[in-house]
Amino acid sequence: MNSLKGHISHIEQSQQIALVSVRLDESTIIKAIIIESPKTVSYLKINHPIKVLFKETEVVIGTKEVRGVSLQNRILATIEEINFGSLICNLKLQSAFGKIEAIISRNAVEQLSLKESMEVFAMIKLNETMLAE
């Protein structure tokens, strides 16, 4: 499980669903949709420290030229290591916010010509992110 630290910067709410923005630094915001509200959980407060969690299998890798995709959660990272399997690969990435792991198909690694030391975007759908104190 990937875990990054940030602070809640914005909360939009509609009934029992909240769209929570978590600021990792001045220019990087990760969003999460959760089935909670500030009334049901105490940690949903502006500036509250929070962890953003997401599975390795939920990370989409894109090269720096990625455009025209709806994934808003994008973290610039460098590939430190690629462990090749016959069908899938485990990528170990280093970002300004810590290490991120991604599990993608070997075919995708080959199609994107991914290599160690290459800069990529680690992208996560907002409904695949979780929050924890």
Q: Which helix (H) or strand (E) holds 107?
A: helix 106-111
pTM above 0.75, yes or no: yes
Q: Are both 47 and 60 inside the same structural domain?
A: no
CATH code for position 82: 2.40.50.100
Predicted local distance difference test score (pLDDT) of residue 69:
78
Question: Structurally, how many domains does the chain consist of?
Answer: 2
Rounded Cα–Cα distance for residues 49 and 23 (Å): 10
Interval 75-123: pLDDT, tens: 999 999 999 999 999 999 999 999 999 999 999 999 999 999 999 999 9
| Secondary structure (3-state) at 50 | strand
Q: Is the pLDDT of residue 65 over 80?
A: no
Q: Are 50 and 8 in contact (CB under 8 A)?
A: yes
Interval 43-58: pLDDT, tens: 899 999 999 999 999 9
Enclosing domain of residue 72: 54-128
Q: Which residues contact 80 (CB under 8 A, 6 or more apart)?
A: 92, 93, 94, 99, 116
**Mean pLDDT, range 3-24, rounded to an integer:** 94
Q: Are both 58 and 27 inside the same structural domain?
A: no
Q: Are both 44 and 64 inside the same structural domain?
A: no
Per-residue pLDDT band for 61 (boundaries 50, 70, 90) equals very high
Q: Are 1 and 57 in contact (CB under 8 A)?
A: no
Q: Which residues contact 53 (CB under 8 A, 6 or more apart)?
A: 1, 2, 3, 129, 130, 131, 132
Supply the mean pLDDT for the chain. 92
Boundary (domain end) residue, out of 53, 76, 91: 53
Q: Are 35 and 123 in contact (CB under 8 A)?
A: no
Q: Residue 40: beta bridge partners?
A: none
Q: Are both 86 and 100 inside the same structural domain?
A: yes
Predicted local distance difference test score (pLDDT) of residue 37:
77
